[in-house]
Structure 1
Amino acid sequence: MKKKIKIGFVVLVFIVVSVCGMSVYRHFTAPKKESVPLETVIQNSSDLTTQKMVISDVFECTKGKIPLLTKKDFLVQYRTTVTAGFDVSEAEVEETKDKVTITIPHCTVDEDSVKIKSDDITLYDTNFAMLNVEPEALLEVLGEAETRAKKLAESDEYGFIVAADANAENVVHSLYDNIVDGRKVVVEFK
């Protein structure tokens, strides 16, 4: 009986040593998990669009100089989707033991998103003129509509930029909260 206990004990020790040995072997031979520098997390993104707004506006416009001959008054109605975001290349990441601070620029209106297509603009003639408006004047109207759209998007009236900043903060938190090993994530604006 003592011999069976000794053999059982030796087999048990052999199994424990084998399992421990295999665990140690796997630990040292397993591929190492490489950590990505936190700066590259946000910079691997491109420019981040954080807010969209559809602008539909009507304004009065006058083109031409000679009344009843070339002077035209008309209403301009347009619709465009404007976006805002920030340039991630300007983001800065600072790490400490307790927190990760990400400093980003305030959001701005994307200039390319303000472009109004010819399908999205309608002119309504409000008076009579014998001659038509020149094409250059119509291009000026399109430029005026784009300028108005940008001013509306940047105005405080709609809170578009404020909302874009708030969404930018949420996006940065979603990028970092789960990868900073329990540290606090702080988002600041330049």
Structure 2
Amino acid sequence: MLLGVPVDKPVQEFMTELHPSEIANEVQFPATLDHVVLRRRAIGLLVPEEGDLARYDVIPARQLAGRRIAMISNEHGEEFVNPIANFLLQCGAVPSVSAEGNAMAVERHAQRHGICAIGIGWFATLPGMVRRPVEGMDFHLDLSLVLGTAPNPAARRFFDFAVRWQAARDAMGIGGLAGDRFDQPPIASTCMALA
């Protein structure tokens, strides 16, 4: 189970192309692996609640010009991080990667320095910050159950259960690919009841 996005690469190619600094299966995984999306969250910005961007329900992309934005690092995979960085650059923003580039560290860095940060939407919003979508920023991060390549009957049974469970939730309009709205509090954790 991981927070990630599928990438269009065969498993072997995916594993051999990892750079030494990348974390395998941290945020991206081969799309060829069986997987089921349990929940989707939009990526947006965390902005200081006293700042001018907090007044927008949806931040206009032009408002990012010249702003320093704390950014997650490439250790999470270039195919995930680069499109977000490129979007910020096209808007004229100044992406800034701190010493620790994981999502929680980036959010804390932004809070301490009173700047904006990429918010993946999976953690409680820090005091003094608010979540906002950005016009044209159409990225997301999924909570997915991904089945590996090793034969494991127990894992296969659990995966098959999760597929049925999520299909039933989708039929009721709960979670899954529909994602969450920015005016809802983010999910701090997800738990599945196995009855």
User: Would the TM-score normalized by the shorter structure come out above 0.5?
Assistant: no
Q: Which has the higher strand share?
A: 1
Q: TM-score range by the shorter chain?
A: under 0.3
TM-score, normalising length: structure 2:
0.22
TM-score, normalising length: structure 1:
0.23
Q: Which has the higher helix share?
A: 1
Higher-Rg member (1/2): 1
Structure with more relative contact order (C-alpha pairs < 8 Å, separation 6 or more): 2
